[in-house]
Amino acid sequence: MELFRSHVLVCGGTGCISSSANQILDKFNEEIKKNDLEKEVKALQTGCFGLCEAGPIVIVYPEGTFYSQIKVEDVPKITEEHLLKGRIVKDLLFKESVDEDKIKSVNEVEFYKKQMRIALRNCGVINPEVIEEYIALDGYQALAKALTEMTPEEVIDVIKESGLRGRGGGGFSAGLKWEFTAKAEGDEKYVACNADEGDPGAFMDRSILEGDPHAIIESMALAAYAVGANQGYVYIRAEYPIAVKRLQIALDQAREAGLLGENIFGTGFNFDLEIRLGAGAFVCGEETALINSIEGKRGMPRPRPPFPAQKGVWNKPTLLNNVETYANVPQILLKGAEWFAGIGTEKSKGTKVFALGGKIVNTGLLEVPMGTTLREVIYEVGGGIPNGKAFKAVQTGGPSGGCIPEKYIDTPIDYDNLIELGSMMGSGGMIVMDEDNCMVDIARFFLDFTVEESCGKCTPCREGTQRMFELLDKITEGKGTLEDIDKLESLAKTIKSASLCGLGQTAPNPVLSTLQYFRDEYEAHVTEKRCPAGVCQSLLQYKVIPELCKKCGICAVKCPVDCIDGVKGKELYVIDQDKCVKCGVCVGACPFKAITKS
């Protein structure tokens, strides 16, 4: 039997791996061997710990010691000091885990304190490539329970009573979706998992698949049992190679163990799963486009109804849920609908995973109960805005969502509150903006994305988003008029109501919400030709401050368009505003900080 006294968990999320977590793990194994600790200490890779800002992260158990921003060179020291001699290496600890002379364990750090992990419960705890570790923490127990003790109707009732709503954006009741699929007529049915996470900056689904792939397999088998399917598809983008690899390993292990395949748990229930790789089109996150793509067709949506529950993959009734929705299911089955319904708000039950990014101290992945306020997420879990800047807005729901200004920061997060504020839950991206962000520029950024990603099938989305983008571009260049703002608004409303699928229907949200809350910024761009945040290049002016200019001429040498004139040592330098391309090179070049941007 293995007799390890200590486990070294190295984060294996995409973020940490891109900053050499794999090499760190190899080095640990090498050092452990060198120090003859192979029988006492085990190093392994887990899923994402969530606090990506502090990556690469290494956690040492049983103490729960939280090492952050570890480099390969730090490994020998940790091995010799901590693993061999039992002395925690203080200067490599996550800064917040050192409180005067007491060292806090990972669970006591502020970032984790307010969190409640259901979908992420195994991420950063188990090795996702070892099925036994998942089983150890009650994995596949829910499937066993459902197959042997419950009827499909009973399973659906539990999901309905739990109040679980779709985590992919729409927020539709998962139980009802399951029921519709179960009741739909069809000789064959399918279950599918939407892992085509496309929002810029969002990585909830990726982290779940990387950190706990068996939870999705178990949950899809459960869903298949409930709706009467024997075949499932996981639609995942090829841009997530680690998630794909770990899911494939998990599938092989589950088949090997008899948890997928024929006659599961001796009950006569058959189920198997296939991975379908997507090419990374945002529109394929839309359910009907995703189904087309699974079938090998071009990823374009079709009108609904019929809904996938009636006509989905190969025109058969199909249950399609998002990764995070599935990740909640086994726990609900094991702990009961009342347990889950007891968490969250009246209409939004359970927890939600968010990918927190932008102007925030703790960039990363977190899971909080529904009803937690935006303020708690941003200031308590997220650690606030860096560099003493002022909070301006938070963008939820990615390119489909909107910007929520400071006056609503105490709003409890749930599906309905966010929609009321002109945004949406979306899949859980959360981007924080500070005083240095220009809201017109933000709207333009998201529109740029949707213009690229529009599939082109319906006119409002194909043409409309392009026109909106052009108007925004015009405004940020200082060429807009007040009529353009009105035109933008009416165009946005038309696109919202006339587009075929969710992509077009929500694409105007970033524009509408910024117009609603930050109209003054739009107006400043148009009437005063000024960008209040100092972001829009065309509206900036670079000037030499005569009192500070030492006539050195460095700026004139560096200027790529030769728009700075003066005589070295004799005459002050002056920028020709007509020729200036606002590149900002001169600001960085001046040794005396004599050039300002305004």
Partner 1 sequence: MKSIADLEKIRKEALDKINLRKENKGTRIVVGMATCGIASGARPVMMALIEEVKKRNLDNVVVTQTGCIGACNMEPMIEVYKEGNEKVTYIKMTPEKAKQVILEHIVNGNEINEFMIQG
Using CB under 8 A as the criterion, which residues of the chain lie in contact with partner 1 when the complex forms? 1-7, 9, 39-40, 61-64, 84-87, 107, 125-126, 132-133, 135-141, 144, 148, 257-259, 263, 265-266
Q: What is the 3-state secondary structure (H, E, C) of 41-75?
A: EEEEEECCCCCHHHCCCEEEECCCEEECCCCHHHH
For residue 504, the minimal CB distance to partner 1 (Å) is: 46
For partner 1, give the closer residue by CB, 40 or 161. 40
Does the CA dihedral 286-292-298-300 come out positive or negative? negative
For partner 1, give the closer residue by CB, 148 or 577. 148
For partner 1, give the closer residue by CB, 262 or 410. 262
For partner 1, give the closer residue by CB, 40 or 129. 40
According to DSSP, residue 203 is labeled -
By three-state DSSP, how is residue 310 classified? coil
For partner 1, give the closer residue by CB, 158 or 259. 259
Task: Give 591's Cβ-side CA count (13 Å radius).
Answer: 6
Residue at token pair 């600001």: 587
C-alpha angle with apex 447: 441 to 448, nearest 5 degrees? 85
For residue 34, the minimal CB distance to partner 1 (Å) is: 16
Phi-psi region at 281: left, alpha or beta (left = phi > 0; alpha = psi -120 to 50): beta
For partner 1, give the closer residue by CB, 86 or 305. 86
For residue 489, the minimal CB distance to partner 1 (Å) is: 53
List the one residue out of 5, 257, 46 whose CA is nearest residue 139: 257
For residue 329, the minimal CB distance to partner 1 (Å) is: 18
List the one residue out of 536, 538, 533, 504 whose CA is nearest residue 518: 533
Of the chain, the end-to-end C-alpha distance in Å amounts to 69
For residue 249, the minimal CB distance to partner 1 (Å) is: 17
CA distances from residue 132 to 4, 128, 137 in whole angstroms, order as listed: 16, 10, 9
For the chain, how many helices (H) and strands (E)?
24, 20
Sheet with strand 364-369: strands edge to edge: 364-369, 351-358, 429-434, 391-396, 402-405
Q: Which residues contact 241 (CB under 8 A, 6 or more apart)?
A: none
According to DSSP, residue 185 is labeled -
Find the DSSP H helices in 454-584.
Answer: 459-476, 482-498, 502-506, 509-517, 519-527, 554-558
For residue 116, the minimal CB distance to partner 1 (Å) is: 15
For residue 9, the minimal CB distance to partner 1 (Å) is: 7
For residue 211, the minimal CB distance to partner 1 (Å) is: 14
For residue 323, the minimal CB distance to partner 1 (Å) is: 24
CA dist 15 and 505 (Å) reads: 32
Q: 43 with 24: CB under 8 angstroms?
A: no
Q: Which amino acid is at 77?
A: K
Write the DSSP assignment of 352-371 as a string of letters: EEEEEEES-SS-EEEEEETT
For partner 1, give the closer residue by CB, 137 or 557. 137
C-alpha angle with apex 192: 201 to 223, nearest 5 degrees? 115
For partner 1, give the closer residue by CB, 263 or 541. 263
For partner 1, give the closer residue by CB, 144 or 275. 144
For residue 315, the minimal CB distance to partner 1 (Å) is: 35
For partner 1, give the closer residue by CB, 18 or 107. 107
Strand (E) or helix (H) holding 198: none
For partner 1, give the closer residue by CB, 4 or 172. 4
For partner 1, give the closer residue by CB, 36 or 187. 36
CA dist 352 and 427 (Å) reads: 9
Instruction: Enumerate the β-bridge partners of residue 367.
Output: 353
What are phi and psi for residue 358, nearest 5 degrees? Answer: 90, -140
For partner 1, give the closer residue by CB, 8 or 433. 8
